[in-house]
């Protein structure tokens, strides 16, 4: 077993078995995750919904560590959508507070492990105190090269495309007949970052929920019934192995 997994994977465990089957020459460069199921997890245990969000923080930590140890270059986490504002105000406020607290606790860990944070979404809608904390962490980790964590906050895939089009018009850089896919890509929140190779969605829902609509044109999807607070390294490894079993054709013909 690789030395970077010492102390993280138990010898003889199912995780080690999966890890030994992974082809490290064919890893997805960019993995995106829709972290779904916190509310259902709490409801099944007769707990307030906020406890599901608290439990989900452990899954975030484990997903980040697993991805970094594997050698994934980019990990995008869908943390708060534009639609999430429709939830009860108390729950929304708690979500932002939890995010702020988590950010403060993780700055040393991110620095020590050479990780970079990048927030994508409409920043103006994020509560000021939370936004300042996130921007502090972005600046602090700007030189991180091991892995970039993209945190999608106050995010909408459709609005991202609208934003890109408005920026092209506002800057008056090109004539309409000069605008192509490459042009729009340069104005997305993810400009300069490769499209996701693999999308993981927890809780068994079969939809992409307005997430990275432009970027996921050819992304491989892996859906698990596991609720997000129960998501662990074993599930991440299962997703990567399933990704490696597939043949990516990008609209062309396969080898078979």
3-state secondary structure of 237: helix
Angle formed by the axes of helices 233-245 and 14-21, nearest 10°: 30
Q: Residue 215: name the closest of 124, 120, 83, 126 by CA.
A: 120
CB 113, CB 61: distance < 8 Å: no
Integer Cα distance of 28 and 39 in angstroms: 29
The catalytically annotated residue of 84, 107, 113, 230 is 84
Concatenating the DSSP letter of every residue in 162-187 gives: HHHHHHHHHHT-S-GGG--HHHHHHT
Q: Residue 24: name the closest of 67, 71, 64, 75 by CA.
A: 71
The catalytically annotated residue of 23, 25, 36, 195 is 36
Tell me whether residue 172 is one of the annotated catalytic residues.
no
Tell me whether residue 230 is one of the annotated catalytic residues.
no
Integer Cα distance of 229 and 53 in angstroms: 8
CB 72, CB 147: distance < 8 Å: yes
The catalytic residue positions are 36, 84
């Amino acid at each position: 077993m690789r030395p970077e997994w010492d102390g993280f994977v138990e010898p003889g465990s199912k995780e080690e078995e999966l890890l030994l089957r992974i082809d490290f020459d064919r890893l997805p460069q960019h993995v995106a995750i829709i972290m779904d199921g916190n509310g259902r997890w709490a409801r099944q245990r007769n707990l307030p919904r906020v406890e599901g969000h608290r439990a989900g923080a452990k899954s975030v930590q484990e997903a980040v560590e697993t991805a970094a140890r594997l050698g994934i270059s980019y990990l995008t986490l869908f943390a708060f959508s534009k639609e999430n504002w429709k939830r009860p105000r108390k729950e929304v406020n708690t979500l932002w507070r939890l995010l702020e607290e988590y950010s403060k606790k993780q700055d040393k860990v991110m620095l020590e492990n050479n990780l970079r944070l990048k927030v994508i979404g409409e920043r103006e809608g994020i509560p000021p105190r939370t936004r300042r904390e996130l921007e502090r962490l972005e600046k602090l980790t700007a030189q991180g090269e091991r892995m970039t964590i993209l945190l999608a906050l106050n995010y909408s895939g459709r609005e991202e495309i609208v934003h890109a089009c408005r920026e092209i018009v506002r800057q008056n850089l090109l004539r309409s007949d000069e605008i192509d896919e490459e042009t729009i890509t340069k104005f997305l929140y993810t400009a300069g970052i490769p499209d996701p190779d693999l999308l993981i969605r927890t809780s068994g829902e079969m939809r992409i929920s307005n997430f990275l609509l432009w970027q996921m044109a050819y992304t491989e999807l892996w859906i698990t019934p596991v609720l997000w607070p129960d998501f662990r390294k074993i599930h991440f490894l299962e997703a990567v192995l399933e990704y490696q079993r597939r043949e990516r054709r990008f609209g062309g013909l396969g080898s078979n």
